[in-house]
Structure 1
Amino acid sequence: MKNRLRKISFSLIIAIAFASCKSQMATTPKDSFSKGADVGWLPQMEATGYKFYDTDGSEKDCLQLLKDRGINTIRLRVWVNPNDNKASGHCSPEETVAMAVRSQKMGMRIMIDFHYSDTWADPGKQAKPAAWANHSFADLRKDVYKHTYDVLQLLKNAGVTPEWVQVGNEIPGGMLWPDGSTDKWSQLALLLNEGYDATKAIDKKIKVIVHVDQGNDNKRFREFFDNATANNVKYDVIGLSYYPYWIKSDYTENIADLQYNLNDMAARYNKEVMVVEVGGEDTKVQNTYDMLAATIKAVKNVPNNKGLGVIYWEPQGARSWSKYALSAWMEDGKPSPALDAFKD
């Protein structure tokens, strides 16, 4: 009974939000350059009492603060059966839908990032959801399709059709280990294609992204996407992460490598490209601003308009709340001037 009431309440909330959304939204045109923010932590920050302020000290909605700085896209991660941990939980399908509705109401474009896990998936960890742990590979394929389709159907029912869907998060070594690792490329390809097919079954216009980290490393990308091509992986966009901090360098040492890789990916595979994660140190405001400006320029410089956009990962995720060093938020709860790089 409790579960049923929860579902009814959630449906009612979404219906009300959608009705308001339809009358108020003014979404950025789809052919414009995407300037984005991944804000998966935002609902938890607000629930724990974190307050966001503008430069004049007035309290404001975080999404409005981001919009005022040129952000027109919101990226949201989704986990299968997450826990309630403040930093590494939440982001359930239901929470993701609620956040997507709220973001679209603000006129934001939407990207959904499927981790296919109950918690963080990245190059060092791609754990199966607990509910799928003992499934056969045939069942895993069905799991990927059903989870992808069900989440996107929930979104569609709420009036949100994402512009982009990521099938996997930072997967240079594959996903759903060990079955979908790059040691078993033919199996990884089948899993990725299940996500693609489920997405297109919802709406053929949604662009499917396959995402690899270290966007300045052309060899890494060629190896992955050559294998993807050989194994007939279906996708529309190559997504890149670019974090000079994590490879212990300054952006000036490898921004040219990022530009080369962006251009090469677009030409070699005839795909659009997008930096779906970027970030710089919160204490180095000018350096982060300069890095963002250079990254945006690099993506815009990709020939034939194949560079789609740049998304900052958790800019609002202030270190005082998250312990994360690469947000773009100040200790006083105000946006970092580094975010001004997204303004025209």
Structure 2
Amino acid sequence: MKKLLLTLLIAAGLSAHAAEPFVKGADVGWLPQMEATGYQFYNKQGQQQEALRILKDYGINTIRLRTWVHPSDDKASGHNSKDETVAMALRAQQLGMRVMLNFHYSDSWADPQQQRKPAAWVGHDFAQLKRDVYDYTLDVMRAMEKAGVKLEWVQVGNETRTGMIYPEGHTDNWPQLAQLINQGYDAIKAVSPSSKVVLHLDRGQDNQWFRTWFDNAKANGAKYDVIGLSYYPYWLDGRPDYKQSIDALAANMNDMAARYGKEVMVVEVGGEDSQPQNTYDMLMAVQQKVRAVPNGKGLGVIYWEPQGARSWSHYELSAWGADGRATKAMEAFLDFK
């Protein structure tokens, strides 16, 4: 029976991975802090309920979490310690959700504007820095394993357009950046060989930048399994409507899958909470474009902090209203089949 199913899949031009559920995800790194400050979530019926259960009822099947090395307890820029992240991953898994872990390799936010190395690693020479990356990654992975968490995907770095762990891991020095990436990759695979390693850039519609970056990654022997993209029309120049960039996103994903033979996933997306219908439409379009990547190489879409209500976070791209409930935007995960 198994052989027959595989034969049918191959005959249909699909990879074996295409049989896996399409990722409908939520990054909820703020959730432990929100709960600690007493924020209350409400379901469609207006009843108070735990946020992960509400998200699951909206079709979310994957949770993405970030981990910081030695974070503070600051409400906006703290938490996400190893222990807190392991506990949240376990909660998600117990609800039947898959889990993606995102290593920022910093004590706080890492993105194109900031890739600060952890304070405990400052002053280390490059050989020691490589050991730092390997040992820290291995420690967190082992903690996940000990808790019984199976990680489907693990990111090495977050939005690493200009590298990570500055200055040594800047794209100005690709040979060193590739070595740091590979330390993370090797530590992940040492604990969980089945976990897929993701490298992640912002501006998912920018094909030239993605080609330049991943050409360099290939030339320098960086190891990975999946190309992750962020897509935020809101942050593009002039804040244009998604319709002006969605085709460029699709073309870039198709090119990445063909050029490098890798799977692709939109690991971060978001739209204005004040425009829920437009965000709904955007999410439907993004899911359609990812699903359409040839040969089943489009894995899915993850919303960044949909539950991170502006009343708590001051972040304008959540999918949560001032009433503590999900907006219309979240229905896109239910409606996309």
- Please state which band the TM-score falls in when normalised by the shorter chain: over 0.9
Aligned to 1:184: 173
- Asked if 1:271 corresponds to 2:262, the answer is yes
Q: Secondary structure of the residue that 1:163 maps to in structure 2?
A: strand
Aligned to 2:209: 220
Could you report, residue by residue, the CA deviation over 1:140-170 in whole angstroms, capped at 9, with x for unpaired residues?
A: 1001111111001000000002000000000
Aligned to 1:4: none
Could you report, residue by residue, the CA deviation over 1:240-290 in whole angstroms, capped at 9, with x for unpaired residues?
A: 000000112210001000000000000000000000000000000110000
What is the distance in 2 between the residues matched to 1:116 and 1:336? 33
Q: Secondary structure of the residue that 1:63 maps to in structure 2?
A: helix
What is the distance in 1 between the residues matched to 2:226 and 2:291? 15
Q: Superposed, which structure 2 residues align to 1:137-286 within 5 Å? A: 137-247=126-236, 248-286=239-277
So what's the TM-score if we normalise by structure 1?
0.91
- The Cα shift of 1:230 comes to 0.5
What is the distance in 1 between the residues matched to 2:212 and 2:327? 37
Aligned to 2:122: 133
Amino acid at match of 1:331: A
Amino acid at match of 1:148: T
Q: Superposed, which structure 2 residues align to 1:86-105 within 5 Å? A: 86-105=75-94
Q: Secondary structure of the residue that 1:277 maps to in structure 2?
A: strand
What is the distance in 2 between the residues matched to 1:30 and 1:244? 30
Aligned to 1:290: 281
Percent identical among aligned pairs is 63
What is the distance in 2 between the residues matched to 1:54 and 1:201? 40
- Regions of 4+ moved over 3 Å: none
Higher deviation after alignment, 200-209 or 30-39: 30-39
How many residues end up aligned between the 2 structures? Answer: 316
Any unmatched runs of 5+ in structure 2? 1-17
Of residues 51, 55, 74, the one that matches 1:66 is 55
Aligned to 2:315: 324
Q: Superposed, which structure 2 residues align to 1:5-84 within 5 Å? A: 31-84=20-73
Could you report, residue by residue, the CA deviation over 1:53-111 in whole angstroms, capped at 9, with x for unpaired residues?
A: 01221111110110001000000000000000011000000100010011111111000
Amino acid at match of 1:132: W
What is the distance in 1 between the residues matched to 2:268 and 2:143? 25
Whether the 8 Å CA contact 1:152–1:161 is kept in 2: the answer is no
Q: Cα RMSD between the aligned structures?
A: 0.9
Any unmatched runs of 5+ in structure 1? 1-28
Q: Secondary structure of the residue that 1:54 maps to in structure 2?
A: coil
Aligned to 1:16: none
Q: Secondary structure of the residue that 1:293 maps to in structure 2?
A: helix
- The Cα shift of 1:30 comes to 8.0
